Structure 1
Amino acid sequence: MFEFAWPWVFVLAPLPWVLRLLLPPADSGESALNVSFLAELEGLAGRRARANLPAWRQQTPFALLWLLLLCAAARPEWVGEPQPLPTSGRDLLLAVDVSGSMDYADMQWEEEDVSRLTLVKHLMGDFIDGRRGDRIGLILFGSQAYVQAPLTFDRQTVHTWLDEALIGIAGKNTAIGDAIGLAVKRLRQRPADSRVLVLVTDGANTGGEIDPLTAARLAAEEKVKVYTIGIGADPQQGDVLGILGLNPSMDLDEPTLTAIAEQTGGRYFRARNSKELAQIEETLDSLEPVSQRASQARPTYALYSWPLAGALLLSLALVCRVLWPNALQQRPQWLRRRP
């Protein structure tokens, strides 16, 4: 089907004639002479004088040129038949704790001690890259929760923003309830069978305005499935903390995280090291994608080049018509036709 993308451009069609009526006539400053002996002058000059064309014939090429330019500006295009674009997958938000405790270096990555957040960046970054067909979003939370990346198919950008997350960027406390509430707000407009939140934290709720269990009830009402991951190592034998009887994960509120997952139909996972976190990633990857309603797109083919090329050729023809008589006048004397 042929159509113009911007048909309102044709409103400008009468603009040249309106300007001609409103603007004062141009004065060339040259005087004109009417003579009765035109034939004698033509004989002396060796060429015939050009007769003035009617006004409508003089204006026709320029009117056609103006209409061709308007047609090109209106973006003519050929629109094809609607083509279905099936999509599958889920809308998955990843909420990552960036509070001060996530800087604790009790994790191992490639035989090196790394912080909890660094391990999350390594393994959850791979998790993001593997979610082909899913819309992925990123929430960072500390004392408050912020959307770092909205739901998008651009997994590489979400991965980059996760790698650039800094400890304390959202505050030093842990607002688990606010993170869940923000995720519910972002997911509630999506299909009900595809709303998933993966929440990673190493502590208990110590900030924010929403209680985590209250936020979990809201998530359950909106059919948002929440998978919670508690990260933090257990005390090891021979370790200084183990000798002193201290637990590096003592702040982790596992009962609350378990209750959140059960209330929303998800699961709670415990990540004490990189191996367990990798297994959790594989478990989450095993979730089957949910088919969504297929969208449609109509292929379009731009045709503006045709009227634009016509306007260019017509402009060249008008220029040649103006310059050709002058070129004839400048020919050598011996080339001119004699009477």
Structure 2
Amino acid sequence: MFEGVEFANPNFFWLLLLLPVAGLWYYLKYQKDRATLRMPSTSAFGKQGILPRLKPALFIMRLLALAAIITALARPQTSDVSSRTKTTSGIDIVMAIDVSSSMLARDLKPNRLAALKEVAAEFIKERPNDRIGLVAYAGESYTKTPITTDKSIVLNALGEITYGQLNDGTAIGMGLATAVNRLKESKAKSKVIILLTDGVNNSGFIEPQTAADLAVEFGIKTYTIGLGTNGNALSPVAYNPDGSFRYGMRQVEIDEPLLKSIASLTGGQYFRATDNKKLEAIYDEINKLETTEIEEFKYYQYEEKFRALVLLAGILLLLEWVLRHTVFRSFI
């Protein structure tokens, strides 16, 4: 009966403590009111019947009615809760992805670029309230997807990113500048770039420091990620006659001082991903650092349940009154 029921005024239940006190009072009064007559035998009076023994039932009915009234005063009710969320301040994010030939190195499985795309896809899915865009860069850079709330477009564009779409090289400055250009007109309260590279700046006509200064001017925070194991990695070193890559061990070179400088200057952080798990952990960390404010509205619809208890109390009192003045009239 009371499954899922809450009480608006539970303090009224303290009144239930009066019921055992009233019961004790009635018991003592009942014992005192009973006449006592000592006789050697009661056979001449015959049997008294069961009605006198049922007289306390009238008082019990009063107590039950009182208990029902007290429970009704506590206002039992059920509630139906509906909620609606509203994004109060979203985040605009541009992911700048290095697609140079070194991103095909196999120190991450199956290679750096494939591992990045898998982790980045999960990151995108976990940002339903933000606008996200993609920039790809190697020896030059271009906007793969402008910032948009349509995550299916972003995920499809991410899946299409491959090596060979741009001249080889690592133009960190141009990749960062293109990302800044995508965000400079944004009206979002928070603007973020996630810049990933596995090399050093060796191409392009925009210096990374210049691009970082532009990010600062437009209030854009930049998280930088250096991708690659420590030491040597199995990387493309030459072309085979059929056009495929020939792999060999090469020293992993990442300009960490530059990436740290960009992150520090723009208010972001620098991370180093040496394997798949660390890369995943880095995106999880960025996901926690850049949170979207959500305002939630809850609507409560209450249904009062006290009416049945009041009706029950009324029936008990009426029944008690009728029995008192009919069946038990001769004994009261």
CA contact (8 A) 1:99 1:141 kept: yes
Which AA in structure 1 matches 2:182?
R
Which AA in structure 2 matches 1:148?
K
Report the counterpart of residue 261 of structure 2 in structure 1. Answer: 259
Report the counterpart of residue 119 of structure 1 in structure 2. Answer: 115
- 1:281 aligns with one of 259, 263, 283: 283
Which AA in structure 1 matches 2:283?
E
CA contact (8 A) 1:192 1:223 kept: no
Report the counterpart of residue 201 of structure 1 in structure 2. Answer: 197
Does the residue aligned with 1:286 lie in a helix, a strand or coil? helix
CA contact (8 A) 1:93 1:197 kept: yes
Which AA in structure 2 matches 1:279?
A
Report the counterpart of residue 147 of structure 1 in structure 2. Answer: 143
Q: Does 2:225 match 1:229?
A: yes
TM-score normalised by the chain length of structure 1: 0.55
Query: How much has 1:99 moved relative to structure 2?
Result: 0.7
- 1:181 aligns with one of 170, 177, 189: 177
Which AA in structure 1 matches 2:104?
D
Instruction: For residues 43-66 of structure 1, give each alpha carbon's deviation from its aligned partner in whole angstroms, at most 9, with x where no partner exists.
Output: xxxxxxxxxxxxxxxxxxxxxxxx
CA contact (8 A) 1:143 1:173 kept: yes
Report the counterpart of residue 19 of structure 1 in structure 2. Answer: none
Report the counterpart of residue 43 of structure 2 in structure 1. Answer: none
CA contact (8 A) 1:233 1:249 kept: no
Matches within 5 A, 1:327-338: none
Instruction: For residues 281-316 of structure 1, give each alpha carbon's deviation from its aligned partner in whole angstroms, at most 9, with x where no partner exists.
Output: 110110343559xxxxxxxxxxxxxxxxxxxxxxxx
Query: How much has 1:233 moved relative to structure 2?
Result: 1.2
Query: How much has 1:248 moved relative to structure 2?
Result: 4.7
Matches within 5 A, 1:1-339: 87-108=88-109, 114-191=110-187, 193-235=189-231, 248=250, 250-290=252-292
Query: How much has 1:231 moved relative to structure 2?
Result: 0.3
The sequence identity of aligned pairs, in percent, is 40
Does the residue aligned with 1:107 lie in a helix, a strand or coil? coil
Q: CA RMSD in A?
A: 2.4
Does the residue aligned with 2:260 lie in a helix, a strand or coil? helix
CA contact (8 A) 2:92 2:188 kept: no
Q: What is the alpha-carbon distance in structure 2 between the residues aligned to residue 96 and residue 279 of structure 1?
A: 18
Q: What is the alpha-carbon distance in structure 1 between the residues aligned to residue 160 and residue 214 of structure 2?
A: 30
Give unmatched runs, 5+ long, in structure 2: 1-85, 236-247, 295-332
**CA distance 1:221–1:192, change in 2 (3 Å):** farther
Query: How much has 1:178 moved relative to structure 2?
Result: 0.7
Does the residue aligned with 2:189 lie in a helix, a strand or coil? helix
- After TM superposition, what 4+ stretches of structure 1 lie above 4 angstroms from structure 2? 246-249
CA contact (8 A) 1:234 1:247 kept: no
Q: What is the alpha-carbon distance in structure 2 between the residues aligned to residue 87 and residue 187 of structure 1?
A: 19
The count of corresponding residues between Structure 1 and Structure 2 is 198
CA contact (8 A) 2:93 2:191 kept: yes
CA contact (8 A) 1:232 1:249 kept: no
CA contact (8 A) 2:174 2:204 kept: yes
Indicate the larger mover: 280-289 or 251-260: 280-289
CA contact (8 A) 2:90 2:189 kept: no
Greater Rg over alpha carbons, structure? 2
Q: What is the alpha-carbon distance in structure 1 between the residues aligned to residue 261 and residue 146 of structure 2?
A: 27
TM-score normalised by the chain length of structure 2: 0.56
Q: What is the alpha-carbon distance in structure 1 between the residues aligned to residue 234 and residue 268 of structure 2?
A: 36
**CA distance 1:240–1:229, change in 2 (3 Å):** closer
CA contact (8 A) 1:233 1:248 kept: no
Q: What is the alpha-carbon distance in structure 2 between the residues aligned to residue 172 and residue 233 of structure 1?
A: 21
Give unmatched runs, 5+ long, in structure 1: 1-84, 109-113, 293-339
Q: What is the alpha-carbon distance in structure 1 between the residues aligned to residue 189 and residue 268 of structure 2?
A: 13
CA contact (8 A) 1:116 1:232 kept: yes
Which AA in structure 2 matches 1:137?
G
Q: What is the alpha-carbon distance in structure 2 between the residues aligned to residue 162 and residue 192 of structure 1?
A: 23
